[in-house]
Structure 1
Amino acid sequence: MRYAFRCLGAVLLTGLLTVPGLAHGARLVREVSIGTFRLSHFPHSVIEPDMHSPKSVAFTPDGRLLLINALEAGKTFAFETGTWRKAWEVGHAFPASEQARHEALIPDNLRQYFDFPPKARAWTGKPVEMAITPDGRLAYVTSYRKNFDPHGHLASSVSIIDIAAGKLIASLPSGPIPKSPAISPDGTRLVVADWGDNTVSVWELGKDGLPRRLVNHFAVGKRLDVSGLTGNRDVQCGYCLRGTTFASDGKTVLISRMSRNNGLDIVDAVSGAHVGFLPDVPTSLRHLVCTRGMVYASSSAGKCLASIKEATLLSPRQKPRRENWRVRKADSGVRTLAVAGDVLVAALHGRKEIGLYDAASLAPLERLPTAAWPVGACVSPDKRWIAVTAQGYHGSGGNMVAVYRLEDDRQPTVMCSLDSVAKEKHADRLRFAIASLQQSLALVFN
């Protein structure tokens, strides 16, 4: 299905913005904001005092829950889709005894890759990204670092959450600063790329979705020596391993490098071996999505998004070249991507917008304003909901998740007044507009 988009409530003074796009004319309606404050141009708001720095977001496979990782709060939240009531929240806090369990999970030949403190300590993790098992039972959530490890030198962890129960049930060891985890389509493998030291973990999962053994943990190229690093670890990260996704065969894993030595690493998830590196990519790649025979990639530094046919990218006969990629400039750093039917959804961080692109051609359809500064994005399984997280940036914005409802073209257009859409006073809208303008001016002149 192809979509064009109209956004209700996007114009602060009229409550309605018509967006010309593709032929069939569905509507993208502002549904609810979930955060530490109320977004005045959303018809519904859920105030969550601990929604500090929401980094990533995902719907469960059945679409019933929206999971949100709030990095600085050290919590993962679940909200019921449609009602937006909070179902549960989970804190990523562990006792000192959990370190001994982590050490017991690591085979002797791989212990060199895991640096634990000499004396076990309790810790709280900072949840950053997640992967959900295909049956929707468990969520694996990576922790950026432990609270006592400010420079990300030590082994971090991956939390395991029982989604139905809303409980933290176990955790796994990881290298420093793990980022994007990925679970195979059959649910038998978990792959975690470590931003902090160029390493990758491959875990075997059982039929219940729980980990059975560490298949391998290895360095991509050379493991980064982190002992002397005290600066910004968002930059001091070696190859800065980031996007992680399974190819359609369910065995091959692609991992992007965001560093100057950019490219794509290829991992065999069955054997746990690093089997190749593709250096000829258009720019530094951040997030990866593999779906329907295509691989999509975002770039923060390159301010673009890109796509390539999976068969071309993984061709056994000839390595792909840069010209095989389709590239679309975005005039903004592009963070997370999500696919809604024939539309590619992109979080345009610098522009405080959601970018909508034709998934086949990458032709731009429209840009819609969202909460500052967008980072994470996801689409519900039924393609009805789109959620976007907003983190703070240079002291402004953040602490917010914006949810949009996608209505198809068979439903009638409802022209809503200012009061019926937002149910707020005119002065509240003007204050929001002024605050947004102040943030934009600060970004330009600072």
Structure 2
Amino acid sequence: MSVQAKHRRKSRRGRPHEQFTIAIAILSLVMAGGMVAGLATSAIGPDSGQTTVGAVPGMPPGEPSNLTRLVHLDRITGDITPKSVVASPTGTVIANNMMYSHSSTLYDAETLELTDTVVDEVDLSEHGYPERAGITQGAPVEAVFSPDGKYAYVSQYRLQGPGAGEVAHDDCRGGEEVGPSAVFRLDIAAGQWDQVIEVGRVPKFLSLSADGTRALVSNWCDETVSVLDLEAGQAIREIPVDAAPRGSVILPDNRTAYVTAMYADELFRLDLVTGESEQVLETGDKPRHLVLSPDASRLYLTVSGSDRLVELDAATGEVLRTAETGREPRTMAISPDGLALYIVNYYANTVSKFDTVTMEEIQTVEVGRNPIGVTYEPTQRRVWVANYAGSIDVFDDTASGTMEP
């Protein structure tokens, strides 16, 4: 059965702890306000008066992110079709260009210059798969950097080459005839793929544990997530969820994770050690992306089909507050001080900036066509936006004074 056919199927794994309703959101507003204020204080410093964020690791001094505004710097073009854009902690930005360009492109975060183009081809026999000698082509979709910025782990939407099986698609046609895909590890300095880790079919988003030893990969067509041991360079567990797993985060205990099931309209909590999964929320139409606040107290969720941003308690999965976004919110990023969210609105061709203290939209900026990926680049305090139609917009986020949306 295809993923599309299962779009409205709900999980039978149990009733959610909380229903996604306006009543719950309103009921929790008062309680949430004080807790979010605490987040802001911890990020800035209790005596700072919201004048500097110089104490935030990896972030240059400046005003808190909810007191600055986005200013357009440049638009990057070229032979790119970026599905995602991800910043390292050390000044490199990677864009992943899917099967339309078959490459990952690397950029200098300060100069915005293209520094490398890495084609998505490997010989699997050189990476532990001797029966698959010959060129295999991938399709780079998402990435996560190692904590030291030396490596990027890039999910390959599909593989084409010896032993790959039928061609994979988002509607999961081909069923079991489609073979598993992989995550390629990119050595940034060498510009070479130096490791291949087999995962499930049509892998999409990746998230990294706080200690950098584990990664979680969403296998879109398998209704599972793969747990990767990055030191061993292999998948150690597959955890079942529901239709079309997409966004994920791993909590600082390196054991608890959350993942969205986009076509089941559900949010799951996972135990990465036992392999157990538990549905904690019915989200509304098409939950897509998750980010965790820097202090790990809050979880933020975009619900693409409902044009909503949802704030949850990261410990319990309880809905705290909700807000309206632009049309079809997809990926989002959070500032290192935890005070601002940046959300791409796919059909509106805009980016919304939200203040996490008030959960209000404080700025909207226009970008290129079909914005689908976004990242906060910490060394320059810039926001990079991947436009699927073939460009990347870069914004400075240090200018004083927010602008009304």
What is the match of residue 59 of structure 1? Answer: 87
What is the match of residue 355 of structure 2? Answer: 358
For 2:380 and 2:254, the matched residues in 1 are separated by 23
Contact 2:351-2:367 within 8 A present in 1 as well: yes
Alignment of 1:282-361 (within 5 A): 282-291=284-293, 292=295, 293-313=297-317, 320=318, 324-340=319-335, 341=337, 342-361=339-358
What is the match of residue 44 of structure 1? Answer: none
What is the match of residue 143 of structure 2? Answer: 130
For 2:357 and 2:315, the matched residues in 1 are separated by 15
For 1:121 and 1:218, the matched residues in 2 are separated by 31
What is the match of residue 394 of structure 1? Answer: none
Contact 1:97-1:122 within 8 A present in 2 as well: no
Residue 316 of structure 2 aligns to a residue whose secondary structure is helix
* Structure possessing the higher radius of gyration over alpha carbons: 1
Contact 1:282-1:325 within 8 A present in 2 as well: no
Contact 2:347-2:370 within 8 A present in 1 as well: yes
Are residues 306 and 27 of structure 1, via their aligned partners in 2, closer, same or farther at CA, if it must alter by over 3 Å? closer
Superposed CA offset, 1:277-330 (max 9, x none)? 2133344310000113110011221111111121331xxxxxx4xxx3422122
Q: CA deviation at 1:331?
A: 4.1
Q: Which has the higher contact order (CA 8 A, sep 6+)?
A: 2
Superposed CA offset, 1:335-380 (max 9, x none)? 1111124111100111101111111332111211111111000101
What is the match of residue 167 of structure 2? Answer: 150
Superposed CA offset, 1:146-195 (max 9, x none)? 24643342211111001122221121111110011111110111211100
The amino acid across from 1:268 in the alignment is: D
Alignment of 1:157-196 (within 5 A): 157-196=182-221
Residue 145 of structure 1 aligns to a residue whose secondary structure is coil
For 1:24 and 1:300, the matched residues in 2 are separated by 24
Contact 1:336-1:375 within 8 A present in 2 as well: yes
Contact 1:202-1:272 within 8 A present in 2 as well: no
For 1:359 and 1:383, the matched residues in 2 are separated by 21
Superposed CA offset, 1:83-129 (max 9, x none)? 12222121111225358x248xxxxxxxxxxxxxx976632111000
The amino acid across from 1:248 in the alignment is: P
Are residues 96 and 249 of structure 1, via their aligned partners in 2, closer, same or farther at CA, if it must alter by over 3 Å? closer
When the two structures are superposed, what TM-score results if normalisation uses the length of structure 1? 0.67
What is the match of residue 392 of structure 2? Answer: 401
For 1:403 and 1:352, the matched residues in 2 are separated by 14
User: Percent identity between the aligned chains?
Assistant: 25
> Which of the residues 103, 111, 121 maps onto 1:75?
103
What is the match of residue 198 of structure 1? Answer: 223
Q: CA deviation at 1:199?
A: 1.9
> Which of the residues 364, 372, 381 maps onto 1:384?
381
The amino acid across from 2:275 in the alignment is: A
Unpaired runs of at least 5, structure 1: 4-21, 36-47, 104-117, 222-238, 314-319, 392-397, 411-446
Are residues 23 and 161 of structure 1, via their aligned partners in 2, closer, same or farther at CA, if it must alter by over 3 Å? closer
For 1:402 and 1:24, the matched residues in 2 are separated by 20
What is the match of residue 438 of structure 1? Answer: none
For 2:70 and 2:224, the matched residues in 1 are separated by 40
> Which of the residues 241, 255, 266 maps onto 2:259?
255
Paired residues, what number?
Answer: 324
For 1:265 and 1:25, the matched residues in 2 are separated by 34
Are residues 98 and 300 of structure 1, via their aligned partners in 2, closer, same or farther at CA, if it must alter by over 3 Å? farther
For 2:268 and 2:224, the matched residues in 1 are separated by 11
Unpaired runs of at least 5, structure 2: 1-43, 45-49, 52-63, 170-177
For 1:157 and 1:405, the matched residues in 2 are separated by 34
When the two structures are superposed, what TM-score results if normalisation uses the length of structure 2? 0.74
Contact 2:344-2:351 within 8 A present in 1 as well: yes
What is the match of residue 26 of structure 1? Answer: 68
What is the match of residue 215 of structure 1? Answer: 236
Residue 301 of structure 1 aligns to a residue whose secondary structure is helix
The amino acid across from 1:70 in the alignment is: N
Contact 1:248-1:290 within 8 A present in 2 as well: no
Contact 1:25-1:409 within 8 A present in 2 as well: yes
Alignment of 1:422-441 (within 5 A): none
Contact 1:65-1:80 within 8 A present in 2 as well: yes
What is the match of residue 246 of structure 1? Answer: 250
The amino acid across from 1:355 in the alignment is: S
Residue 315 of structure 2 aligns to a residue whose secondary structure is helix
For 1:368 and 1:346, the matched residues in 2 are separated by 10
For 1:213 and 1:88, the matched residues in 2 are separated by 27
The amino acid across from 1:332 in the alignment is: R
For 1:24 and 1:132, the matched residues in 2 are separated by 26
Q: CA deviation at 1:266?
A: 2.1
Are residues 120 and 262 of structure 1, via their aligned partners in 2, closer, same or farther at CA, if it must alter by over 3 Å? farther
